[in-house]
Amino acid sequence: MAEFSFYQPVRMEFGAGKLESAGKITSSFGDSCLLVTTTNSEDVLRPLYDRVKGILEKAGVRYIHFDEVVPNPDVRGIEKAIGIVKRERLQVILAVGGGSSIDTAKAVSLFWESEGIDWKKVISEYSSPTEVYGLPGSSVLPVIAAPTTAGTGSEMTQAMIVSDHEKNMKECVYHQAVFPKVAIIDPELTRTLPPYPTAVTGFDAFTHSFESYMRELASPYTSLLGTEAMKIIIEVLPKLLRETSNMAYREEMSRAAAFSGISLSNASASIPHPLSEVIGGVVPGIAHGQCLACLYPAYVRYQVTQEPEKCARVARLFDSSLMDVSDGEAALALPGQIEEFLKKTGLFHTLSELGVTREEFGEMKKNPVLQFLPFASPEILSGILDESYGGRL
């Protein structure tokens, strides 16, 4: 019989209007809270943050608003938020935002008792999504996550991205203690997300399902959730980009993102995710989902040679008529399907088209992680990067 592990400790509160429960949920874990968001100066987000503050006040929760989260959260911001938690003796963390806000909240939760954090040691020590680690301190703070995008799945995982923008470093850290206690998934929070962020976060969710489906850690549970998520995203994301105010589509994408996050947390990612972190470490201005989109055509061409049966099943999600052909023939259709999907969603670009210089690309190619990733040889990984760069090297 097959053996597998599956762990999903996050309580999910899903549905339109669920944000109103944030006060009651937060107060069940403590009466003082760090509210973690991106900048409070963005006009489109300020009303949401004001609304959340009102919900917390109504529930009698004292809060401090940390509104300095940046994309690919920087370690200095994480350390500053930790200082606030200590100084104010806060008991719970509420993250409202995308993956960067939720990842910041997780890192603060895990290291809130630490002094002088050695981030290089953290990255090397907490490197596996399947290990069960001891705590760096005596406790972690409970995290409540309310995502405003449908893509990262961070509200359902034990993973967090940490970056040092001064050192061009971007890595993923794992710890089973940082699964959020509650994920408040209110699709209405994604309503104002513009088309491009909708596309990049939506494709990010697709990659979580695709890569975890390809992994040897996949189980019947992750495969079921991942397949359903991919099916939804393939059908719904292009429609949503044409009708960004369609709440039925928004709801389906939020559900797909959560399913993808659960699948990712148990079966993990593959080649594109660590390579996207290499890219993001050098050029942090390119959105994570766009980095993945640049890598996917070359990655899928390689993956078809490694997992033709699984690739055939995904190809049939794009085109049910492939049910009538062999797995080998169906799998060969997948690279073209991925490219067409990226064109439909406006994400079909090479790194050079996005402005990555040859010098920057050379820095990416020197990253030592290419020598140690377990998924493929350094030559294959380097080749995928070369194809993703495009242009003349």
Query: What was the pLDDT predicted at 393?
Result: 47
Residue 13 corresponds to which tokens in the numbers above?
């509160």
- Among 139, 171, 190, give the residue marking a domain's end: 190
Residues 234 and 300 reside in one and the same domain: yes
Instruction: List, in order, residues 6 or more apart from 17 with CB less than 8 Å away.
Output: 186, 188
pLDDT digits (tens, 9 = 90+) for 279-328: 999 999 999 999 999 999 999 999 999 999 999 999 999 999 999 999 99
Of 140, 168, 190, which marks where a domain is finished? 190
CATH number of the domain within which 210 lies: 1.20.1090.10
List, for residues 142-154, the tens digit of each pLDDT value: 999 999 999 999 9
* pLDDT score for 40: 64
Query: Do 123 and 244 sit in the same domain of this protein?
Result: no
The pLDDT of residue 392:
47
Same domain, 173 and 35: yes
The pLDDT confidence band at residue 2, using thresholds 50, 70 and 90, is confident
With beta carbons less than 8 A apart as the criterion, state whether 97 and 154 touch: no
Angle between helix axes 327-344 and 308-318 (nearest 10 degrees) is 50
Distances (CA, A) of 219 to 3, 206, 376: 8, 18, 22
Rounded CA-CA distance 54/61 in Å is: 10
* pLDDT exceeds cutoff 60 at 366: yes
Shared domain for 252 and 376, answered yes or no, is yes
- Read off the pLDDT of residues 29-71 as tens digits, 9 standing for 90 and up: 999 999 999 986 667 788 999 999 999 999 999 999 999 999 8
Given pLDDT bands bounded at 50, 70 and 90, which one contains residue 1?
low
Q: What is the DSSP letter of 176?
A: G
Q: Residues 26, 83: one domain?
A: yes
Tokens of 258: 């959560």
Where among 174, 190, 206 does a domain terminate? 190
Give per-residue pLDDT as tens, 118-149.
999 999 999 999 999 999 999 999 999 999 99
Tell me what pLDDT residue 176 has.
97
| Residue 211 token pair | 């890569």
CA-angle at 260, arms to 256 and 265, nearest 5°:
150
For 340-363, the pLDDT digits (tens) are 999 999 999 999 999 999 999 999
Condensed to tens digits (0 to 9), the pLDDT of residues 239-289 reads 999 999 999 999 999 999 999 999 999 999 999 999 999 999 999 999 999
- 348 with 243, same domain: the answer is yes
Residue 3 lies in a domain: no
d(Cα 294, Cα 270) in Å, to the nearest integer?
A: 15
Whether residue 66 lies inside any domain: the answer is: yes
Same-domain check for residues 112 and 224? no
Give the pLDDT confidence of 190-224 residue by residue, as tens digits. Answer: 999 999 999 999 999 999 999 999 999 999 999 99
- Spatial neighbors of 259 by CB under 8 A, at least 6 apart, are 209, 225, 226, 228, 229, 232
Question: Do 134 and 207 sit in the same domain of this protein?
Answer: no
Residue 235 lies in a domain: yes
Domain co-membership, 145 together with 218: no
Is 4 domain-assigned? no
CATH number at residue 69: 3.40.50.1970
Q: What local confidence, expressed as pLDDT, does residue 391 receive?
A: 57
Q: Are residues 240 and 150 in the same domain?
A: no
Look up tokens 């050695």; give the residue: 118
Exposed, middle or buried by CB within 10 Å (0-12, 13-18, 19+), for 252? buried
Cβ neighbours of residue 234 closer than 8 Å, sequence gap 6 or more = 206, 317, 318, 341
Whether residues 254 and 383 fall in one domain: yes
Residue 158 inside a domain? The answer is yes
> What's the pLDDT tens digit per position in 11-35?
999 999 999 999 999 999 999 999 9
1 assigned to some structural domain: no
At residue 328, the pLDDT reads 97
Question: Could you tell me which of 159, 185, 160, 28 has the C-alpha nearest to residue 96?
Answer: 185
- Asked, for residue 2, whether it belongs to a domain, the answer is no
What pLDDT is stored for residue 44 in this prediction?
A: 79
Same domain, 272 and 372: yes
Who's near 15: CB < 8 A, 6+ residues apart? 185, 186, 187
Check: CB of residue 384 under 8 Å from CB of residue 299: yes
The domain containing residue 268 runs over which residues?
195-389
Please answer whether residues 146 and 182 qualify as being in contact, where contact means their C-beta atoms are separated by less than 8 angstroms: no
Q: Report the pLDDT value the prediction gives residue 42, as an integer from 0 to 100.
A: 67
User: In the chain, how many domains are there?
Assistant: 2
Give exposure, 68-86, as e/b (b: 16+ Cβ within 10 Å). Answer: bbbbbbbbebbbebbebbe
pLDDT at 43: 74
Q: Which amino acid is at 97?
A: G
In a domain, 319, yes or no: yes
Non-local (6+) Cβ contacts of 300 within 8 A are: 311, 334, 335, 338
